[in-house]
Amino acid sequence: MNETKATGPVYQVAPKRNAAICNLRTRLTKVRGYLKKSTTAEMRSTWEDQITKYQTQLAHAEAHALNAT
């Protein structure tokens, strides 16, 4: 009778975290907090502009990361 050795499970290597994406997500979180705390319309407008800018940068970074893999 031949013995067969069991093999362990094969784990998939998780992709490395992209620093640019992490930084943009952190900035978005902070700016959204500033937006919640702001009281004047001028400040709210400034934070909303920053949020849209960071969201477009994040979309480009995520698309670039997907194309690189």
Indicate yes or no: pTM above 0.75. Answer: no
Answer yes or no: is 30 within a domain.
yes
Give me the pLDDT at residue 17, please.
79
Counting the structural domains of the chain, the total is: 1
10 domain residue, yes or no: no
Q: Please report which confidence band the pLDDT of residue 9 belongs to, taking 50, 70 and 90 as the band edges.
A: confident
Q: Look at residue 9 and tell me if it is in a domain.
A: no
Residue 58 forms part of a structural domain: yes
39 falls within a domain: yes
4 domain residue, yes or no: no
pLDDT tens profile 13-60: 666 778 889 999 999 999 999 999 999 999 999 999 999 999 999 999
State which residues form the domain around 38: 19-68
How are the residues of the chain apportioned to helix, strand and coil, as percentages rounded to the nearest 5?
70, 0, 30
pLDDT (0 to 100) of residue 1: 58
Confirm whether 63 is domain-assigned.
Answer: yes
Whether the pLDDT of residue 2 is over 80: the answer is no
